[in-house]
Amino acid sequence: MSDFSKFEKEIGVTFRNKDLLRQAFVHRSYLNENPGMGISHNERLEFLGDAVLELIITEELYRQFPEKPEGELTTLRAALVNSKMLAEVALEIGMNDFLLLSRGEARDIGRARQFILANAFEALVGAIYLDQEYLAAKEFLLRTVATRLPQVLANKLYQDPKSRFQEEAQERVGITPSYEVIREWGPDHDKHFVVGIYLKDELVAEGEGPSKQAAQEEAARLALTAKSWD
């Protein structure tokens, strides 16, 4: 079993139930190759942690911005709790070193790893909530996620990436970007799309997602980085 004492020190939380902490790192794929490990995967913890995360960040934004309407608070929250942001936080606190993945998943360090890290972070939040209750989860999230708020505001990350890229493209090069589905696969209940974002004939970036809309948003986010417009 991994020694989590250094990790616990890093996040400022010492677990009473170490199995809860360990479970937060177990990806479903790992159990397929290690069925007898005696611990479940992290998806139920992720489900709980997602709700805890949303409540605490919503509460903090409500407190910090008494003048902002619901729509603006919603976009700020989305910028703080999206998979990209949560994966960045997870990497910073060292979660990648403890992930339990199948051999195939362990080799993938691209977009799929980002989702796995973000989901594991939500599972960790759920584990903290179960082990030490609401205030401990709140203190952890205020230190790790809410502190990203100045970055979100300064870089306008609260704006939809498609809107941001279109605004930048029209202002900088006088072109309205277009999107095109490059690949799609999977059954109807588990579709995947790769969408390209173009400036005229220039393919700026490709984004992948479970819907065309999600793939377009990812493509726009990557295009902002590719053009150094972010």
Tell whether the model's pLDDT for residue 1 goes beyond 70: no
Model pLDDT, residue 188: 83
182-204, pLDDT tens digit by residue? Answer: 999 988 878 899 999 999 999 99
pLDDT in tens, 48-61: 999 999 999 999 99
Report the length, in residues, of the chain: 230
Residue of 50, 105, 217, 218 with catalytic role: 50
pLDDT number for residue 42: 95
Q: What is the mean pLDDT of residues 20-40?
A: 89
> Residue 125 corresponds to which tokens in the numbers above?
């939040």
Tokens of 93: 């606190």
Assess whether 122 carries a catalytic annotation: yes
Judged against a pLDDT cut of 90, whether residue 230 lies above it is answered with: no
Of 203, 199, 145, residue with least CA distance to 177: 199
As a whole number of angstroms, the distance between CA 6 and CA 16 comes to 15
List C-alpha distances in Å: 140 to 8, 116, 155, 196.
11, 20, 24, 37
Q: How far apart are CA 32 and CA 230, in angstroms?
A: 40
Q: Boundaries of CATH 1.10.1520.10 in the chain?
A: 5-154
Tell me if residue 50 is catalytic. yes
The per-residue pLDDT for 2 is 67
Residues annotated in the binding site, as ranges?
46, 119, 122
Return the pLDDT at 222: 93
Write out the two tokens for 214.
Answer: 């999600």
Identify the weakest region by mean pLDDT among 39-48, 87-96, 108-117. Answer: 108-117
d(CA 94, CA 62): 30
Alpha helices in 97-199 (DSSP H): 103-107, 111-144, 149-154, 161-172
Q: How far apart are CA 72 and CA 56, in angstroms?
A: 17
Q: What is the pTM of this model?
A: 0.74
Beta bridge partners of 206: 196
* CATH code at 5-154: 1.10.1520.10
Binding residues for Mg(2+): 46, 119, 122
- Decide if pLDDT at 44 tops 60: yes
> Which is catalytic among the residues 60, 105, 122, 218?
122
Determine contact, residues 45/19, Cβ cutoff 8 Å.
no
Stronger pLDDT, 109 or 74, i.e. the higher one: 74
Distance CA 129, CA 117 (A): 18
pLDDT at 127 over 90: yes
CATH no., domain 161-226: 3.30.160.20
In the chain, list all ranges with CATH 3.30.160.20.
161-226
Greater confidence (217 vs 136) lies with: 136
- pLDDT of 199 reads 96
CA Rg, the chain, in Å? Answer: 19
